[in-house]
Structure 1
């Protein structure tokens, strides 16, 4: 690998003149960063340079590969592909319903690994940054903890939780101390960087898994499709709710499935006017959101239609159900208050890993 000043010199020349690194150099550079082999000045320079330049696809592939080599790997249970839900944004304007999606999928018989930052609304209340401020956001970690599902404190606890309840809530600090240390630069430097994309794409499992990846801005869906096309990983891509990978409960985004290097639209964006407003939490706080989650799971309220559709797609892509109709039947069986609804669906072929 070339010297560190040479690499920084390439990527830190500004948006017009910066040069992209080849995949092998990007992997080596990020591997050194994860190992804490870069001095503080170099880390700050790289963080800021990539915020300005953005990462190329070759660099992103190298960063993800280095991250996966350096992290604790999880062994998934036998059966459907485990589903990975990255949660690093939290929600401020809307209720964060990602824990609800995770709990529904786990109840349907699919192992779910939700990983992310462990901080909640109170921890970041005083961190008012101008670049996607985390202040006053309600994290998935805060909600799951309030629901009696505390974060796994060790790699072994992640294994145990997956086997005992089909759901593990894993802080990035446990999965990858190196990534956690790099992410902590956000608090010191005030801006996001390429590592916020990397954590959406890592596979902590030792074998194949099913990614659920979301973007805030629709043009970035092309970046996700390109990544999953190159890596041939199975994934569901969508425009998330405040950056979290769940469908907006009032309007379903386009749901894109990626498998064997090909990405197709499973369900088009919902363009029809709402016939009725879905039941939603009274506010986005922890108490109201937890109450809503419990009412959906116990059958008092229905799961909002867009999340129902997203869950059905995930059941098919994970191999839990052979098609969307079968997936809908599974969800209706475990959610007593669910009502049938019309949705624009493609007829998916049976998933190769589908269970009977």
Structure 2
């Protein structure tokens, strides 16, 4: 069974074709970073318009790359939430229209489930159950994953998502958009232990996160410094170290609470080298990640999640669609 996947939840248009017997056949991605850079953040209306321009050409590119046509598609999966409403509507409308025209099933996929399942695309993939740390620009979640669709939310950020905190801190340090990768690169030039940042919400029970205070701490530290490039690097390192250690502490708690020995880390921030180094060093834990190109939003994870759900689906949805800009993972059910 071949499933076409369409991802359009925010500022990246992703399309992929997944075959349940042969694996990932082809994928393509267009990033809108240059479009939004001059505004310092994603402009929802511009994002929606660009998805309109790019989705159909990317579908053609993926099919051509795989040496197939639309007649070889058995189902269409698209991101229905969470994300920007307008951007989601573009992918949903195109996905449903293609499926309707081909008289094939269409599947509304939860964006975060796509990330959560993305490490299963790898040769070294986790078995269920496991704890999943989902870290991106819009989400920070710890999830007890018992099976596909059987998710228990263990903890989440009460304010900024971790990727959002990276981007905002980078911006106040004068770095370009999107700031997270720039901050991580700058941190490699930093002097360890010059600044000590707090590890928020680690001195109390629970698995929730808070990162807005770290952003404020970084801003105050920057304002009190001489604002040299070395100051910037040292603050970037101190901030990143605090975030990474906070995430690791909460992951250890989640693993102890659930009794699981496997940890899956996905989402854009899962590409961070310091985070991977810290989590890989945890004793007695097998840690799994998606490949670097699938850490950020992509069509492959949507096609894969769609294939899993389509294989188990008994009845099809009606030929209509809606999107859910807010769609908690724990509202999903097994296929």
Judging by fraction of residues, say which structure has more strand. Answer: 2
Q: Please state which structure has a larger fraction of its residues in helix.
A: 2
> TM (normalized to structure 2)?
0.28
TM-score (norm 1): 0.27
Higher relative contact order (CA 8 A, sep 6+): 2
